[in-house]
Structure 1
Amino acid sequence: MKKSYTKNELLTILKGHEKHITNVRNWNQYSKDNALPHSQTLISHFGSWNALKKELSLELNDYLKIPLQDDKVVNKTNSKMELLTLLKGNEEHITSVNKWNEYSKDNALPHSQTIISYFGSWNGFKKELLDLKDDLKVGRPEKYSDNELHIILDEYKTHYTSVGDWDMFAETQQLPKHFVFMNRLGPDIIREKTGLITSWSTEEIKKIIKYYFPTKPPTQTEWMELAKMKRVPGKSTIIRKFNSWSQMKFEVYYKE
């Protein structure tokens, strides 16, 4: 038989466990392992997960503290990825708006209106969440090896007179376009083999970043680790092109 509690009894039981009262998912795992009340029991007594945390003088979940203005979320760009990360693992409940609202209420998760204010539409949110991958494996299967790219440059270097000329020629011959050589070999190798002096354009950098991190922006540390293995624009080059790392993330992933 399910045990009935008063609010004061629950507050007494929770003493000493405050550091584990972070979000519903973490608490449910912890409470299961330690024979403590389930989150739904707590929510039914306190009204919401954040109300419980407030009662215990704990920091509230960030997504519920974000200010709204004219039905739009302030600082949307900085918090969009945080919302995607927060909601990862709840995909099976992300069906219709009504079903999500019932589930989110029981599990202290953001309401559909909050989510839509970030992503523009419910379907837009669903697409971004379902596309998000947990693994941070960089790179994709390569059609050409680096050695093959060197051979192509040696054989066809007379056609590499400009980026536009090369891309037109490459399309007719089914060869890699300039972006591939910039991405894989870098401007120094292109200049050494063809004499063409080129540098990373903003659009090329955008493509390269999305090539290696297709669904979510890399941290500066992740990018520096990638740069040790691949000939990609350095962190300082990216910051110089976009003025800041945060602006790069906005331009590459969020700007419509």
Structure 2
Amino acid sequence: MGLGVGFNKDDARRQAQVVVIDHNTRIRLFGPKVDPLGQVILVGNLPCTVIGVTENKKNIFDTSKNLNIWMPYETASGRLLGQTYLDGITVRVKDGQPSKVVEDNVNKLLQKRHGTKDFFTYNLDSVMQTVQKTSQSLALLLSLIAVISLAVGGIGVMNIMLVSVTERTREIGIRMAVGARQADIRQQFLVEAVMVCLIGGVIGIGLSFVIGYVFSLLVKEWQMVFSVSSIVTAFICSTLIGIVFGFVPARNAAQLDPIEALARD
């Protein structure tokens, strides 16, 4: 709680006309300089006293336009809706507890108190499982797209390096003639392939920073977070792609015959 207090059991029993508001509601109704505690606001046609203000916590689902007001359920049911009974109960299960067992226990308790089963229950665990399966499928799809993109990019790098070997055949022959070993030629072209991939990785990371910054300016409620581990992983992947797809051009360059290489234009 940022300011004041929350309502208690006595407030609920008395159907007290008290409310707790969030930071956005405070700014919208009273402004940043006015103390909202003790102020009276109308909720529908019901005057209520503000007794608390929640902390200003932002998340991706909240926007500055959302105004949240909380009051005791008994007050809302009895004074606003004119009901003296519950038409629904939400049960929150602790982490690690089997929701199916909790659902069965709730059913037994309610049936024992009602004498008959004049109610129904809905377990969100099935919905959560569906959401998890959907998330896993989406993650798998994105991973496949990433792998395909890396493969296409690697093939592009390999083609570029093969063209480079063809165009620099005479240069390779001269280097071999003056004493360069096959390992030296292979290392040269592997390093070039890795450098091409690393430059591409740097450009991609730079573009992601720019796009994320622009997006955060357009949508102020979203905050882009860039982790160091992701950047390091991108550089490692770029290096591996350069080594894997640069090996064939480097091997071809190292296996050239110096005499034939010098004889080519």
**Could you say which TM-score interval applies, normalised by the shorter chain?**
under 0.3
TM-score, normalised by the number of residues in structure 1 = 0.25
Return the structure number with greater strand share.
Answer: 2
Higher-Rg structure is 2
